[in-house]
Structure 1
Amino acid sequence: MTKFTLATLRLGAVPIPAIGVGSDYWPLAAAAQAGIAGLDTDIKGVFVNWAVAFPVLRDFATAAANGRLPSSFAIPAAKADLALPIQFPNKLIAVGANYEDHLREMNAVIPKGERPVMFIKPPTTAMTGPGKVHIPDGCAQFDWEVELAVIVGTRMRKVARADAMAGIAGYSVSVDYTARDYFFPKDYFFKADFLLGKGQDGTTPLGPVITPAAFIRDPHDLRITLSVNGVTKQDASTAGMIYRIDEQIAAISQFVTLEPGDVILTGSPAGVGLPRGEFLHPGDRVVATAEGVGELHMEIA
């Protein structure tokens, strides 16, 4: 089977849904040139009909790889202007405190309970693609947290752990940027402010592509990394998750229905800036990776 990724490219102000095959991107609209029909007009729509869309995408990727499509449709990866790949999920759900080494560096003792810590971010405003990430106004402690992102491929309500992984359509790379000084406000009744700390505009980049789950051998055995200005800050394995992905999905779906295209952020390992008093500044360059999934480049502004 020809490996492919899903992406959204910018052509001026117009989003172009595409698949990535080799060193090129092919707009979904080009599928008709190979007699392939049935694809939606955007990436979210593809996930809404994932069971039907995946075999069609597989045939499309094979046609592109075998030269059955006009080369004029191909957009070289080096020239592609990549945007947020899914515009926009109905829900962006994050799981926190999910790596033992991260809890240790934060001097936090949180015994594993019945369910993980879960919270919601506003998807249409918090999410962004590769490129510039703006430090929120008034924030002096802007921190990084690399995360493996899960893209849901089917509706799930009260799903059992044994069935949860089958509901995943793909994976991507995300960074849960955190305004620590907003997240831990002084002289505030509540201990944490999740909206101001983690949900401000443009503070959750994701991408640059979504890799279908069929091409990921084991999502619990992936190396994830983050570097700042070429210096590695986070370097860990997803094997370090306290709550595995099937546990996360089962727990979330007991209370909130998961829908196709929803995104789940699965937690971040050790190496964040807060314990060492290191924070991001305008001009810093951040690169986040997940093995076999993708590499996300950002510039802090």
Structure 2
Amino acid sequence: MHNNWYAIASYEQGAGPRAALVLDEQLYDAAALGAEANPLLLGSQHVITQWEQQRAAVDALARRLHAERAAGRARPLTPGSYKLLVPYQPGRIFGAASNYYEHAAEMGTQLIARSESAPYCFMKAESSVIATEEDVVKPATTHKLDWEVELGVIIGRSCRHVSVEQAHEVIAGYTVFNDISARDLNRRSDYPFTHDWFRGKSFDTFGPMGPWVVPAQCIAEPQKLRMRLAVNDELMQNDTAEGMIFNIAEQIAYLSSMLTLRPGDLIATGTPTGVGMGQGRFLQPGDVMTASIEQIGTLRNRVVAAAL
């Protein structure tokens, strides 16, 4: 892991959201880092959506925290004394469909040659986002609720027509995303348009995200990150982001060719093989999903039935 690794988190202890820096999965409250040139005092939402303006100050705080901790002067929050919140609220969520060859195969998706294709992107409601340890609510209308661990890429500056070569320059950071999907609601028979991914993926609670945001400069090779997801401690997905058909930079270039990407936009870059649909196995109330990406962190979310 990067020697100066850190993450940005949001948490609460009963008196509203507070920002923190994370070192080795320990939280350090923003206020304890001092008030001078400390944008975290305005919250993690402010920092992420103003990343281009705030990055240098946050990096300086992180370096100071590393030094203070090495000298034994920094005190982390006591585990169990706080609740992690969503690290920030994305402005828009863009999803990449069938973006791993093996996942496309397990779903029975027939792909044409990559050279003749382009990323297939959809939008997922930003209101679907929940934090780690929050419950995913299974709607009564679905019998095929599924999991998808994905590398979340967060845009850090307003940009349009970004080249593949320059794409990594517009990334603020990375997070873990679980693209919960109601497979039987992704399809329609009452319209001539057979796919409805917005409906199948946009229910409230269908977007576990977090546990924090790791700045892009802290991860040297994001395409090599290993992604895992377990259900009830049984490993289902285990692959690296190298399996993507269209890599992170290509997805950013494609999206920015159509619209202006904004700070805080989130790209869910696709999921590897091992989803429930490929096994005919789906989530039930009481199941617990644990989604993790190396160098970032772990999400844990339980499934509950919708209230009648």
TM-score, normalised by the number of residues in structure 1: 0.92
Structure-2 residue corresponding to 1:67: 68
CA distance in 2, matches of 1:49, 1:184: 38
Deviations 1:100-127 (A, max 9, x none): 001111111122244211111121x111
Deviation at 1:244, TM superposition (A): 0.6
1:196 is aligned, of 199, 209, 220, to: 199
Deviation at 1:63, TM superposition (A): 2.7
Deviations 1:182-215 (A, max 9, x none): 1123444221112220111110110111111111
Summarize the Cα distance change of 1:61–1:77 in structure 2 as closer, same or farther, 3 Å threshold. farther
Report the AA paired with residue 127 of structure 1.
V
Summarize the Cα distance change of 1:191–1:127 in structure 2 as closer, same or farther, 3 Å threshold. same
Deviations 1:217-242 (A, max 9, x none): 21111111111011111111110100
Structure-1 residue corresponding to 2:166: 163
Q: Percent identity?
A: 33
CA distance in 2, matches of 1:156, 1:29: 32
SS of alignment partner, residue 148 of structure 1: strand
Summarize the Cα distance change of 1:141–1:220 in structure 2 as closer, same or farther, 3 Å threshold. same
Report the AA paired with residue 300 of structure 2.
H
CA distance in 2, matches of 1:231, 1:65: 36
Deviates more, 1:96-105 or 1:187-196: 187-196
SS of alignment partner, residue 270 of structure 2: coil
Aligned residues between the structures: 298
User: Cα RMSD over matched residues?
Assistant: 2.1
Equivalences for residues 126-275 of structure 1 within 5 A:
126-131=128-133, 132-275=135-278
Structure-2 residue corresponding to 1:11: 13
Summarize the Cα distance change of 1:107–1:37 in structure 2 as closer, same or farther, 3 Å threshold. closer
Unaligned runs of 5+ in 1: none
Deviations 1:243-265 (A, max 9, x none): 01110000001112111111100
Check conservation: 1:89, 1:262, Cα contact below 8 A: yes
Report the AA paired with residue 274 of structure 2.
G
SS of alignment partner, residue 162 of structure 1: coil
Q: Do residues 32 (structure 1) and 34 (structure 2) align?
A: yes
Q: Do residues 50 (structure 1) and 75 (structure 2) align?
A: no
Summarize the Cα distance change of 1:40–1:115 in structure 2 as closer, same or farther, 3 Å threshold. farther
Deviation at 1:23, TM superposition (A): 4.8
Deviation at 1:82, TM superposition (A): 0.6
CA distance in 2, matches of 1:126, 1:116: 23
